[in-house]
Structure 1
Amino acid sequence: MHELGLLMEIVKTVEKFTVENKVGRIEKLVLQIGEISSVIPEYMKKVYPAAVEGSMLEDAALEIEILPANGRCLDCGREFHATVCGGVCPDCGSRNMKIISGRDFFIKEIECI
């Protein structure tokens, strides 16, 4: 479970941001996690309290947004939700595709007061 390590690095990044921007308090942290990334949102939620204990994020809510796994058909160019379509292009039926999103992991927002 590497989610704890990821969250601890996020805490460092956010704390650096708060110092540089003279932020008093953080209300909410919003993360975006790709649908087919190696990060498991449920684990992130589970280990969040331990990762933020004693930090500026200790009282901040965690919100996670899931980014869809989109693919582009290399035969016809159509972009589609790859997991919904089972990796098959809904236009031409090809399986010749490239994943263009869904492996991402971002800090989307730090809501401050």
Structure 2
Amino acid sequence: MHEIGVLFEVIKSVEKLAKENNVKKIETLVLQIGELSSMIPKYMKSLYPATIEGTILENSKLEIEILPANALCKECNKVFNLVSNKGICPKCEARNWEMLSGKEFYIKEIVCY
């Protein structure tokens, strides 16, 4: 479960940014996680309270936005969702594609008081 280590690093980054900008309290942290990322959103949410204890983020909310795993079919140029189409182009049924998105992990937004 590497999510806890990643969360601790995210918290460190947010605290550094907050200090640089004289922010005293964070209300909400918004993360974007790709559909095929190695981060599991439900684990991130359940571990969040423990990782923010005693930090500037204590009592803040964690919001997670899932970014779709999209691919471009190299045979017919159709953009499609890899997960819902099980890696097969819905237009030409090819399995020859290039991933466009889905493995991202971003801090999207830090909402301050």
- Relative to the length of structure 2, the TM-score reads 0.96
1:5-84 to structure 2, matched below 5 A, reads 5-84=5-84
- Fraction of identical pairs, as percent: 55
Q: CA deviation at 1:24?
A: 2.3
Q: Deviations over 1:29-69 (max 9, x none)?
A: 00011111100011101111111110001111000111111
Q: Secondary structure at the match of 1:54?
A: coil
Regions of 4+ moved over 4 Å: none
Q: Secondary structure at the match of 2:29?
A: strand
What is the CA–CA distance in structure 1 between the aligned matches of 2:89 and 2:72, rounded to whole Å?
Answer: 8
**Corresponding position of 1:85:** 85
**Corresponding position of 2:103:** 103
* Structure 1 letter corresponding to 2:98: K
* Structure 1 letter corresponding to 2:104: D
Gaps of 5+ in 2: none
Q: Secondary structure at the match of 1:98?
A: strand
What is the CA–CA distance in structure 2 between the aligned matches of 1:40 and 1:54, rounded to whole Å?
Answer: 24
Q: Secondary structure at the match of 1:32?
A: strand
Q: Deviations over 1:3-23 (max 9, x none)?
A: 110010011100000011111
Gaps of 5+ in 1: none
Q: CA RMSD in A?
A: 0.8
* Structure 2 letter corresponding to 1:50: A
Q: CA deviation at 1:86?
A: 1.4
